[in-house]
Amino acid sequence: MIISLKDMQVGDTGRVVGFDKSFLPYRQKMLAMGLTPGTEFTVIRIAPLGDPIEIRVRGTDLSLRQNEVAAIRIEQVDRKVEIQEKKLPEEEITLAVIGNPNCGKTTLFNGLTGSRQHVGSWAGVTVEQKTGQYRYDNKVIKVVDLPGIYSLDVNEHSTSLDEKVARDFILSQKANLILNIIDTTHLEHKLYLTMQLLEMRIPMVVVLNNMDDATGRDIKIDSDEIARRLMCPLVSLVATRTKDLNTLKSTINQLVETKQLSSTPVKYPQPIKAAISRLTPLIEQQLADKSINPQWIAVKLLEKDAFAMDLADETLQKTAHDCYQAIEDTSGEEADILIVDSRYGFINTLTQDTLIQQSEVGKKLSDNIDKVILNRFLSIPIFFGVMYLMFTFTIKLGRAFKPFFKDFAQAIFVDGTEYLLTLMNSPQWLITLLSGGIGNGIREVLAFVPTLKIRETERSEVMIFSPQ
């Protein structure tokens, strides 16, 4: 049965049978678009008024007007039953996105979910909750954008609700995978949250974002070495690139299947290790939720975390306190300080070994120049010296071009105008007005063009220095 495109609905598949020879111009256009006889296409979208119609043909979406497709003779192909038979059940996966504020987390979230987003609030609090979803490789991925935080340390007196919301969601085991985003422009500072997440033994992947910005600063990042040291899957990307996002989606699907758990790469001092070993068996006996890593609870007890303290009974709290005192007596330092120092010690070594400054010579030269021109005593004299040279150069260079512009304007607007008006037998008053008045005025203005142009150029190029 031969039909026209306007008779088809969204989802219908058609096959081009031929063309009406009376529509030759549009026929050539349709052929150039790939709508040759025998080609199949699918209707993707129809405008509210029925025009235009969007179809997918040869892997490309085309938007066509009704008058353009009037020449096409179409045979409808019934493929709906075949599609339903081949369609596999979609698996639902929950992905939690966590990172520091301003690390590109929202950009990545928008890139993954597009317009399929929902904004609400977390239960019981006023913290904004943003969720979205996307489909990839027969999986429906629900993405939860956790609040931007710097660490998972929760203190009811000194931290906001954001840290508590993020930590509680991770501990709830609702996410199949945790996606930790790190801004490579401040790698050392951003990795502290990553260290805390790795200690929790959760399925996670580290995403290094803004790799192009780091490259722009002449920094080379050895992402493979970072992944090896962290003992965790890692993806390097630019959150605004579609190709990188597709690579990330593929990696996410693979990691969900393997369910690889993280582990801490940090080597704690011996007193901390001994305390963790002593507390872990007691925590395993008492902990009702076996999914929570007991070693992580042991570390949190040594940090006197309120959440860990609430899980412990009096005996466990007393044991943790004894361990805390023993560590202080042995090392002369408090346990929580040793733990934080160990994390940052690992991070510092990691960044020194994996971040390579490409142009050290150029950087040193720039630093030496800055020390001179930004000196609190020399900066003002240097500023006035630059201003003096700029104006001197402007005036002297402008004088060299001024005669040319003045003579050029005299020939065109004064003498030229007077000559043309005389040929036209114009009255003397009109010649005087246009040539002697307006022409002379234009000549005088154009004479200053070189000076003004040079000043404008220098104004855009000169850097104004201020004292430190």
Domain ranges of the chain: 2-84, 91-258, 270-357, 379-461
244 CB-near residues (< 8 Å, 6+ apart) = 237, 238
- The encoded tokens of residue 325 equal 């005192």
Task: Please give the residue that has the higher pLDDT: either 211 or 6.
Answer: 6
Nearest alpha carbon to residue 320 among 339, 341, 304, 332: 304
Question: Quick one: pLDDT at residue 117?
Answer: 61
Do 2-84 and 91-258 agree at the fold level? no
Please give the Cα distance from 195 to 130 (Å, whole number). Answer: 25
**In the prediction, which pLDDT does 24 show?**
58
pLDDT in tens, 82-108: 444 444 556 788 999 998 888 888 888
Q: pLDDT band at residue 325, thresholds of 50, 70 and 90?
A: very high
CA distance 222 to 208: 11
Distance of alpha carbon 233 from alpha carbon 262, whole angstroms: 9
CA dihedral 266, 163, 300, 97 (to 10 degrees): -40
Q: For position 217, what pLDDT does the model report? A: 56
State percent of the chain over pLDDT 90. 16
pLDDT of 344 reads 92
Residue range 91-258, CATH number = 3.40.50.300
Instruction: Examine residue 52 and say whether the peptide bond preceding it is cis (omega within 30 degrees of 0).
Output: yes
Residue 223 · residue 236 · CB < 8 Å: yes
What integer is the mean pLDDT of 126-136?
79
Q: Is the pLDDT of residue 446 over 70?
A: yes
- How far, in Å, CA of 416 to CA of 446, rounded? 16
pLDDT at 59: 65
> What is the band of 465 on the pLDDT scale with cuts at 50, 70, 90?
very low
- Is it the case that residue 284 has pLDDT exceeding 90? no
Mind spelling out the 3-state secondary structure of 294-326?
HHHHHHHHHCCCHHHHHHCCHHHHHHHHHHHHH
pLDDT in tens, 14-53: 888 777 766 556 666 677 677 777 778 888 877 766 777 7
Work out the number of other CB atoms within 10 angstroms of the CB of residue 20: 12
11-20, 313-322, 360-369, 459-468: least confidently modelled range:
459-468
Tens of pLDDT, residue by residue over 217-258, are 567 788 899 999 999 999 988 888 888 888 899 999 889 888
Structural domain 2-84, CATH architecture: Roll (2.30)
The total number of residues written for the chain in this structure: 468
Would you identify the CATH topology of the domain 270-357?
Helix Hairpins (1.10.287)
**Of 74, 115, 282, 98, which Cα lies nearest the Cα of 190?**
98
Q: Using 50, 70 and 90 to split pLDDT, how confident is the model at 458?
A: low
Query: What value does the mean pLDDT take over residues 178-199?
Result: 88
More confident residue, 105 or 214: 105
H-assigned helices in 47-128: 66-69, 80-86, 105-113
What pLDDT does 82 receive? 42
The tens digit of pLDDT for each residue in 335-378 reads 989 999 999 999 999 988 888 765 554 556 777 888 888 888 88
User: Which has the minimum average pLDDT: 330-339, 381-390, 441-450?
Assistant: 441-450
Please determine, for residue 80, whether its predicted confidence score (pLDDT) is greater than 50.
no
- Assign 63 a pLDDT band (cuts: 50, 70, 90): confident
Least confident of 141-150, 193-202, 338-347, 399-408: 399-408
Task: Mean pLDDT check: name the lowest of 186-190, 252-256, 281-285, 321-325.
Answer: 186-190
Alpha-carbon distance of 340 to 153, in angstroms, equals: 11
To the nearest whole number, what is the mean pLDDT of the chain?
79
